[in-house]
Structure 1
């Protein structure tokens, strides 16, 4: 269920603080992934809660941060990476991380813990029993659904066990997709709160003021009418870049592919470059390289369509990528593979089309059809932009977050 609450009252104070004074309620975000700052949803939520008067801290294990402690816009960020032996294998790192997180949590005595991984559910239940705190599980997009579709049955069984363990202890669930398997799983077992929040980068970071037309002309000289196909994001194997490149063989010379990003995987980048050269596509496919976020979005804004070709795999089947909403905000029509979450948003808001599988010929035919129907293409872009402004601005999303917090405090 989607909740839009224009007026909400929030209890942000604990009854007793030091010396009997009333103090803000303490929220501890526990983010066990290997990085923090590149994830907009974590930072956006933490900052919004801090502005509402909560005492917010984020615990993370971020190897990219040199400092062990930072304060960013009122949010205290404690990085535990310096306490984790970088030479240890991943299992020992996980054990060390959990030990440090549990120690810190017990010392800080939060009123609410918000966590992001099913692997942390057993530890969260332990902390709730010890601290009598509230738990919010941000299941985001894929955990349980991925577990149920994974060929790694041991992992799937463990994830299901974790969700069963936490089913009667978790006070609030944050999810993206109305039909998210995790949501349906919890809804079957109890009557806890379920709020839908779609994460996006705040509008001031996502909406470019001036499309960079001159730079686009340098990439693709406008001596002819061209149709630019954009693909925004880090270039990775599961994102269907091979399909995008091969589809150019079925498209005329006026079609150009702009890959807005680059690959950190050197072997995969070599494979992609070889594919481009072998198909004589050097003049029609351009990499921008890694760019500042605003500049990458400016390039995206100048494209005629935006691609989102995630493969149907364990990690991507139930994903809802940020770039889906970035294309939407920019008014760029989307062509995507037919994955459940992405299909749901495209079908509901009519800002793009899906193809049944990652097939170069199918993709090329879809693109040609869109180019040949200019009115339909323009309507898809208008639908995306208006839908974003009406439903997915950061203000709208954060109202739903505050509504969830107000219900459990």
Structure 2
């Protein structure tokens, strides 16, 4: 069996920061004495090509192509950078990096595929059946070329087993205590603490299938019952739905009910969440969203707030056996969203009980430090299996 202090290479088609899952895995492994290098991209050329952070090294390669061409450019640049270097483990993050399994197989003792989400199903929402078929074909072919598979949740692992008859372990993408503690040391800006508004937060990347327009429609219903001094929607994030959402807010004359911050530093966002009363998770119907396990669920819990969320399998499975943590609704119905908000606004005792549950489940389960130990164990299992064979 290889030495306990492994030489590990991680590869991800992003700038690495802010790819929270990759950063947390690399930081943890480095803290355990392993040598960790992460290869990412430098699309605008304005980042350091080499960076030391939290005990690990980030190397970035140029990335100028668009659409599918960026994949081939990235794979070529990574292969050239790796050269003849040898690693104990090469850890490939997500499907757009998985094809490197054949190109780098001689550079590693074991190859591990880390599936962050149901990538083919996600692509089908943009490219239809051809997207689903094409990306599934790629995943089916290359997933057989790795020695180990980890995913970000149980529904992802079950989906891979159903589609390709492969086994995998899952490591949930819980927030790190280190990040949460750093966030909670920050002072919450006075604008979030000096009023007595009931504050509803919708946090995260903003795409059309994540329910941001439904938030506005629910706010329109609630504006007929509550004043802007009583209710506020805090939207923290950026993406393609940001501008259309702002236009819809203007159209309905709801500006006084909304605080749309745009992109916000992750730690600042975690800090400000503490001033909120409930968080929204409004994934809309879609092949990926039905099974998707939302990171924002765990982030809301780290702030001690319950959720109102889509009644889909992913969210149901993530909260299975946990009572009094949130309210599941039909995410396509603004009326159901509004009704759930009213319930929590008017039942203070229930809201406080749910906040207590959120804090407790974060402390006892929904944190990275209790979860990430699975990764080293998975590596050891793979090495042991290879030794036995």
TM-score range, shorter chain: 0.7 to 0.9
Aligned: 1:134 with 2:104: no
> Does the Cα contact within 8 Å between 2:94 and 2:116 map onto a contact in 1?
no
Q: How far did residue 247 of structure 1 move?
A: 1.1
CA distance in 1, matches of 2:280, 2:39: 34
Q: Could you say which residue in structure 2 is the equivalent of 1:66? A: 47
Instruction: Report the Cα offset of residue 363 of structure 1.
Output: 0.7
Instruction: Return the offset for 1:43.
Output: 1.0
CA RMSD of aligned residues (A): 2.7
Q: Which residue of 2 aligns with 1:164?
A: 140
Task: Describe the superposition over 1:91-137 as per-residue Cα deviations: whole angstroms up to 9, x where unpaired.
Answer: 43322211121233342222211112224334303432x34621111
Partner of 2:232 in structure 1? 257
What is the CA distance between 1:239 and its match in structure 2? 2.4
Deviation at 1:145, TM superposition (A): 4.6
Does residue 395 (structure 1) correspond to residue 372 (structure 2)? The answer is no
Distance of aligned partners of 1:211 and 1:381 in 2 relative to their CA distance in 1, 3 Å threshold: farther
CA distance in 1, matches of 2:35, 2:359: 35
Partner of 2:387: none
Query: Secondary structure of the residue that 1:77 maps to in structure 2?
Result: strand
Shift of 1:289: 4.3
Please state whether the residue corresponding to 1:173 is helix, strand or coil: strand
Over alpha carbons, which structure has the higher Rg? 1
Residue 34 of structure 2 corresponds to residue 54 of structure 1 = yes
Structure ranking higher on relative contact order (CA contacts 8 Å, 6+ apart): 1
Q: Which residue of 1 aligns with 2:119?
A: 143
Separation in structure 1 between the aligned mates of residue 246 and residue 212 of structure 2, nearest angstrom: 11
Q: 2:190 aligns with which of 180, 204, 214?
A: 214
1:380 aligns with 2:354: yes
Query: 1:175, 1:183 within 8 Å by CA — same for their partners in 2?
Result: no
Deviates more, 1:177-186 or 1:110-119: 177-186
2:284 maps to which residue?
311
Alignment counterpart, residue 365 of structure 1, candidates 339, 344, 353: 339
Q: What is the rounded CA distance, in whole Å, between the counterparts of 2:11 and 2:202 in structure 1?
A: 32
- Correspondence for 1:4: none
> Which residue of the other structure, out of 289, 301, 305, is the alignment partner of 1:332?
305
Gaps of 5+ in 2: 384-389
> Structure 1 245/100 Cα, relative in aligned 2: closer, same or farther at 3 Å?
same
Write the distance in 2 (CA, Å) between the matches of 1:167 and 1:274.
43
Query: 2:92 aligned with 1:112, yes or no?
Result: no
1:273/1:149 CA distance change after superposition, 3 Å = closer
- Alignment partner, residue 210 of structure 2: 239
Classify the secondary structure of the residue corresponding to 1:405.
helix
- Structure 1 alignment gaps of length 5 or more: 1-9, 14-23
Give the SS at the match of 1:107: coil
1:354 pairs, out of 325, 328, 349, with 328
Q: Does 1:27 align with 2:4?
A: no
Give the C-alpha shift of residue 314 in structure 1. Answer: 5.2
* 2:253 aligns with one of 273, 276, 280: 280
CA contact (8 A) 2:175 2:366 kept: no
CA drift of 1:303 comes to 1.2
User: Contact 2:148 / 2:382 at 8 angstroms: preserved in 1?
Assistant: yes
